[in-house]
């Protein structure tokens, strides 16, 4: 059975992720297929909008399929991963910049690579099971696939909190943080999709919108804004250590599970992007890190500990948040020169 289903139905171009047994993890081939479809449909007058969804109840897409990246990286071959990331990021940009509406339906886990597919379209719909997160720091990466841009535009210091701890967002929190637009109960999704496919008209969407169940981030905003206000990861960790609240203790435990270099770079990236950057700026900055991630950061060790050996005891390059020299952060985020991510590939 195909990992991804791409077809035209009525007035819609339809993209359905179809790996429910793997939580719809995104393969390189799936990335390329999505990109090709978007290019083809851009000039197809029969298609009024693009509808992206996924098979199964557990996940829209729980991340990228990184087994091949790990295997090639362990052999010292970094070219495959770099090519995957470059093509994936170009696809993410195409979704965000698409001239036709892109409507995504995000149930269950939407994480990592799933954010890149599902959270850059024009109409991002979450249901009651939505669990959206950017957990990359826990495997030695940084929030990527354009996720750093969403984090940098999130209210207050939510970006630093979500990006370094990998905290999961239910539907209300995903909308608050800018990862989604609308809440529609999942029982109503079939009817909504049927209408969109038949008409290609988004006017009917309004009748399906409801208020999501209450989240937790709105009430936590003042504390998050205070505790995650420092310019560096070390400063954030210090503020959490000094605060006596249960929330601070929970956040500090989550921070301790992240690769220190990744979390320090995530904070720096969000600060650089906040207030003026575009999605393309964010993707280019992310690519500086991921281009170097296998050779100079903790990605291979993070995958080993989480996916391969599953011992959950990664041996990070740095001992903790306060042990990451600033030059290591600036080095990971330095311009790539001739290897800079470009968006000219069609």
Residues recognised as catalytic: 64, 113, 136, 144
Q: At which residue do the structure tokens 């990070």 appear?
A: 316
Tell me the two tokens of residue 24: 């719809």
- 208: exposed, middle or buried (C-beta count within 10 Å: 0-12, 13-18, 19+)? middle
Which pairing describes strands 12-17 and 4-9: parallel, antiparallel, or unpaired? Answer: antiparallel
Closest CA to 140 of 272, 308, 284: 308
Q: Give the closest residue to 266 by CA, choosing from 132, 337, 165.
A: 165
* 1-36 burial: b if 16+ Cβ within 10 Å, else e: eebbebeeebbbbbbbbbbeebbbbbbbebbebbbe
The sheet carrying 4-9 orders its strands as 4-9, 12-17, 49-54, 102-106, 123-126, 182-183
């Amino acid at each position: 059975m195909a990992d991804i289903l791409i077809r035209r139905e009525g007035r819609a171009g339809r993209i359905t992720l179809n790996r429910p047994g793997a939580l719809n993890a995104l393969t390189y081939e799936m990335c390329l297929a999505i990109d090709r479809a978007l290019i083809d449909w851009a000039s197809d007058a029969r298609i009024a909008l693009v509808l992206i969804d996924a098979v199964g109840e557990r996940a829209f897409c729980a991340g990228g399929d990184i087994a091949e990246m790990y295997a090639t990286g362990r052999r010292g071959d970094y070219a495959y991963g770099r090519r995957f990331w470059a093509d994936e990021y170009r696809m993410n940009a195409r979704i965000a910049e698409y001239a036709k509406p892109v409507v995504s339906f995000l149930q269950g886990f939407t994480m990592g690579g799933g954010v890149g597919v599902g959270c850059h379209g024009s109409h991002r719909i979450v249901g009651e099971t939505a669990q959206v997160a950017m957990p990359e720091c826990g495997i030695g990466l940084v929030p990527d696939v354009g996720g750093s841009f969403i984090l940098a535009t999130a209210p207050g210091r939510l970006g630093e909190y979500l990006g370094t701890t990998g905290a999961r967002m239910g539907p209300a929190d995903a909308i608050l943080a800018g990862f989604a637009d609308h809440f529609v109960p999942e029982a109503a999704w079939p009817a909504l999709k049927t209408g969109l496919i038949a008409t290609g008209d988004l006017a009917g969407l309004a009748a399906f919108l409801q208020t999501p169940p209450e989240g937790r981030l709105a009430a936590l905003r003042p504390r998050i804004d205070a505790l995650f206000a420092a310019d560096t990861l070390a400063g954030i960790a210090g503020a959490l250590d000094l605060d006596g609240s249960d929330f601070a203790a929970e956040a500090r435990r989550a921070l301790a599970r992240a690769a220190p270099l990744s979390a320090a770079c995530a904070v720096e990236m969000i600060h650089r992007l906040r207030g003026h950057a575009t999605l393309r700026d964010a993707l280019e900055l992310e690519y500086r890190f991921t281009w170097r991630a296998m050779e100079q950061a903790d990605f291979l060790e993070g995958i080993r500990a989480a996916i391969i050996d599953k011992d959950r005891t990664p041996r990070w390059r740095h001992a903790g948040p306060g042990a990451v020299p600033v030059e290591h952060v600036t080095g990971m985020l330095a311009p790539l020169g001739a290897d800079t991510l470009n968006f000219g590939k069609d």
